């Protein structure tokens, strides 16, 4: 069947089963609300808690209990991270890092001084 636009109008008027609408009648309508464009949540990297470094300092380099204090702050940072408090986790993690740095540096300095003082008498004997 070939369609000829001249013979058949594009819009015939009233479709079968459709009544003529008068101006005062309400026409049923469907309203569709389109949600805004989906934007995935921004990735926030987790704050480091330095737990392994704190465990190492607590076990090996516990100079003046700084390793223990660093371990306590690392556990607090881990707890804050689990709860979802990013700022609290970042704060406790930063404090743990500071105590870890202090414990590591002071332990290395004191260990180096101890080794030097133990080796001086060996060199003076010969």
49-60: pLDDT as tens digits:
999 999 999 999
Q: CA-to-CA distance for 82 and 75, rounded, in angstroms?
A: 11
The candidate with the shortest Cα–Cα distance to 50, out of 103, 94, 80, 12, is: 94
Q: pLDDT class for 25, splitting at 50, 70, 90?
A: low
pTM over 0.85: no
- Chain position carrying tokens 């609408």: 21
Q: Which alpha helices (DSSP H) does the chain contain, by range?
A: 51-59, 66-83, 86-125
CA pseudo-torsion sign 109, 115, 121, 123 = negative
The candidate with the shortest Cα–Cα distance to 44, out of 78, 80, 87, 75, is: 87
49-91: pLDDT as tens digits:
999 999 999 999 888 999 999 999 999 999 999 998 999 999 9
């Amino acid at each position: 069947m070939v369609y000829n636009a001249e013979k058949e109008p594009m819009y015939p008027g009233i479709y079968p089963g459709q009544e003529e609408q008068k101006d005062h009648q309400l026409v049923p309508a469907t309203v569709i609300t389109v949600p805004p464009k989906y934007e995935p949540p921004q990735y926030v990297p987790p704050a480091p808690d330095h737990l392994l470094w704190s465990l190492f300092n607590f076990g090996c380099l516990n100079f003046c209990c700084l390793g223990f204090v660093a371990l306590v702050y690392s556990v607090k940072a881990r707890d804050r991270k689990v709860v979802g408090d990013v700022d609290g986790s970042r704060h406790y993690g930063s404090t743990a890092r500071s105590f870890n740095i202090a414990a590591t540096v002071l332990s290395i300095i004191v260990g180096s001084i101890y080794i030097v003082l133990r080796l001086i008498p060996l060199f003076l004997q010969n």
